[in-house]
Structure 1
């Protein structure tokens, strides 16, 4: 399967972001004819204040972003893993951070709502409080294309291996993780975590990120890391985006997944553990 990753620099401006996404997706189709296109987290709206995000949240289905994605998938006969959108929740002041998956007919076949929310203070002192605006999801999502089973995750989920263990139990061959990783955390943790997930679960790991500056609340400018990449099941990086807006295309081969799993048959070696025996230490 041929897969194109779209690396964007989204802003708090839906018109601008949709034009950028459509241009890059069209370029990928014209040049590489992929089976599947992946967009980054927050591709339709990035940054701004909590109130702006609530106002910008779109209806799913039926909103403008949804209709644009559905039309592109159907008109180009292509699968589309739409990174994440701001999904309005009826009767709530909070929203979902949601991946949407469309098949070649433009039919929605998957909807994953981000589970782990990014509430931290970064090393530079910037506070990220995703839970102030986002309601977490609680369901995992797996879909299939061309014989490859694909599991969904978003950004901060990357740090929580139990989520990927559950996806592995569901028999996934590929994990797709749209993201908007911060520059500070990304330069130290992004690649090592992506490669680790590929190795420990023997899957292709597809990580599609935002790149560059965007305005946050109070006029503050924040930076995303980019470095969108694809790791094979051996943990090798087989594709990476340049340090700018753009796209690249990689091939995913089910035979490569089988070969790695045959070489190191981890699934056959997995054991269930009993209770933890916590021993007393010290006086």
Structure 2
């Protein structure tokens, strides 16, 4: 299954400095310290949207596996422990075949909360303006190892600061940046903890506190043949596990698409679907959330999200509360409403659940946030129609703002040539930040959207925009 996280960009390369042991970390190689299920270096590698990835530093016991997963090449500093500028120059030497149009991401291997969308933005801005673009903190501090450089400018700056006798031993990165004129350097403010590195034990503790689980949004085309759908789900969850996901979210109505006999599917195929999700959770040691239908006593079904974790924990169900009796649809004819909000915890993060039409009701999202949800999962089978895509994007952004939560929405991918009236999705699964920014988004076709959660961003949003505390109950008339 295609993954946005593994797309390459031909004109972008990355040089990642991973220089081994740190005295301030007790001699530990800080780039190999585990952060929310992956080493710091692996988190940097999987956030890097580059066709060429050069890691300067010892490959260690995991180097071969990292290189295979992320198309990375490890090279050693020459001489070892000669400083960051020498390491950078060594990495740039490996780009001899790169053209002058190449943009180089200069990164540290101990910045575990870097985001792919941020690095893409840095590279795009650098390429467009032909200037260096770097992350900067709220205090204006420039993150030298979180920047994008035009390759020719990087080469000339390195040449200008090289020691007279040759080499860059014991030279600091500050000297490199001192070569830039006022108009040659632009900055982009860091959000959440994306600009943080782990230079001290305290910084490591903070990174581990705010790094949430890796979530995969599996945008699927749902077949009317359950056997085909079950096979699709197997492939999607396996692909997500291979990418390091700890939580996989499938669309609404993954069991069977709307426009089919929901009651028959619930009676005949829901038990098998439930077993499949549990089997995949156990096999891949992750949590799976997927849309099904469960029978009710009145002949209808509940539109049900199943949450299944390894060993049966967590094991929850959310029944869709708001039914889609709108735009000519009549969901309540075949579907009975649920009445309870549902949250669950994973890796120090609390998730809330909602389904499709629920997104038009802000009070559900604020209620989930007040119950501690930092992230709200929203499986969808969005209906086509004039303006419906614009409405969906607007609603996702609004609900994230209402609740100051990260909102992760996963839709069905519409079947090619489908012209029926039943909702079969429009694609465009998205990750939205707590202040309403669309962070990542897919198109209409099947795909996997991978999201590394940054809880610091949510904490900052709720401190600066305390709508959850300020809300008052209005009088009823």
TM-score by length of 1: 0.86
Equivalent in the alignment of 1:116 = 322
Larger radius of gyration: 2
Equivalent in the alignment of 1:69 = 277
Contact residue 72 and residue 106 of structure 1 kept, 8 A? no
Q: Which whole-Å deviations, capped at 9, do the CAs of 1:106-164 have from their partners, x for residues lacking one?
A: 4452210011111123xxxxx32211111111111111112211111100000011211
1:119-198 matched pairs, under 5 angstroms: 119-121=325-327, 127-184=328-385, 186-198=388-400
- CA distance in 1: counterparts of 2:268 and 2:376, whole angstroms: 26
Look up the SS of the partner of 2:397 in the other structure.
helix
**Post-superposition offset of 1:42:** 0.6
- CA distance in 2: counterparts of 1:72 and 1:137, whole angstroms: 26
Contact residue 100 and residue 108 of structure 1 kept, 8 A? no
Equivalent in the alignment of 1:98 = 304
**Post-superposition offset of 1:269:** 2.9
TM-score by length of 2: 0.52
Equivalent in the alignment of 1:280 = none
1:217-236 matched pairs, under 5 angstroms: 223-236=424-437
Equivalent in the alignment of 2:413 = 211
Equivalent in the alignment of 2:295 = 88
Equivalent in the alignment of 1:44 = 255
Contact residue 295 and residue 301 of structure 2 kept, 8 A? yes
- CA distance in 1: counterparts of 2:378 and 2:464, whole angstroms: 26
Q: Mean Cα displacement is larger for which, 37-46 or 220-229? A: 220-229
**Post-superposition offset of 1:275:** 5.1
Structure 2: unaligned runs, 5 residues or longer: 1-212
Q: Which whole-Å deviations, capped at 9, do the CAs of 1:187-245 have from their partners, x for residues lacking one?
A: 1211110011111211000111012138999x767652110001011211122123201
Equivalent in the alignment of 2:236 = 24
**Post-superposition offset of 1:88:** 1.9
Look up the SS of the partner of 1:119 in the other structure.
coil
Contact residue 412 and residue 424 of structure 2 kept, 8 A? no
Output the aligned Cα RMSD. Answer: 2.3
Q: Does 1:202 align with 2:392?
A: no
**Post-superposition offset of 1:9:** 1.2
**Post-superposition offset of 1:59:** 7.3
- CA distance in 1: counterparts of 2:411 and 2:267, whole angstroms: 21
**Post-superposition offset of 1:104:** 2.7
Contact residue 249 and residue 289 of structure 2 kept, 8 A? yes
Of structures 1 and 2, the one with the larger relative CO (CA 8 A, separation 6+) is: 1
Q: Does 1:79 align with 2:287?
A: yes
Structure 1: unaligned runs, 5 residues or longer: 122-126, 277-283
Equivalent in the alignment of 1:3 = 215
Look up the SS of the partner of 2:337 in the other structure.
coil
- CA distance in 2: counterparts of 1:59 and 1:113, whole angstroms: 19
* Cα 1:265–1:163 shift into 2, 3 Å: closer
Look up the SS of the partner of 1:73 in the other structure.
helix
- CA distance in 2: counterparts of 1:274 and 1:129, whole angstroms: 32
- CA distance in 2: counterparts of 1:158 and 1:78, whole angstroms: 26
Contact residue 352 and residue 368 of structure 2 kept, 8 A? yes
Contact residue 382 and residue 423 of structure 2 kept, 8 A? no
**Post-superposition offset of 1:16:** 1.1
**Post-superposition offset of 1:274:** 4.2
Look up the SS of the partner of 1:96 in the other structure.
strand
Q: Which whole-Å deviations, capped at 9, do the CAs of 1:35-61 have from their partners, x for residues lacking one?
A: 110000011200334xx221111479x
* Cα 1:107–1:216 shift into 2, 3 Å: farther
Q: Does 1:57 align with 2:266?
A: yes
Look up the SS of the partner of 1:213 in the other structure.
coil
Q: Mean Cα displacement is larger for which, 3-12 or 98-107? A: 98-107
* Cα 1:40–1:272 shift into 2, 3 Å: same
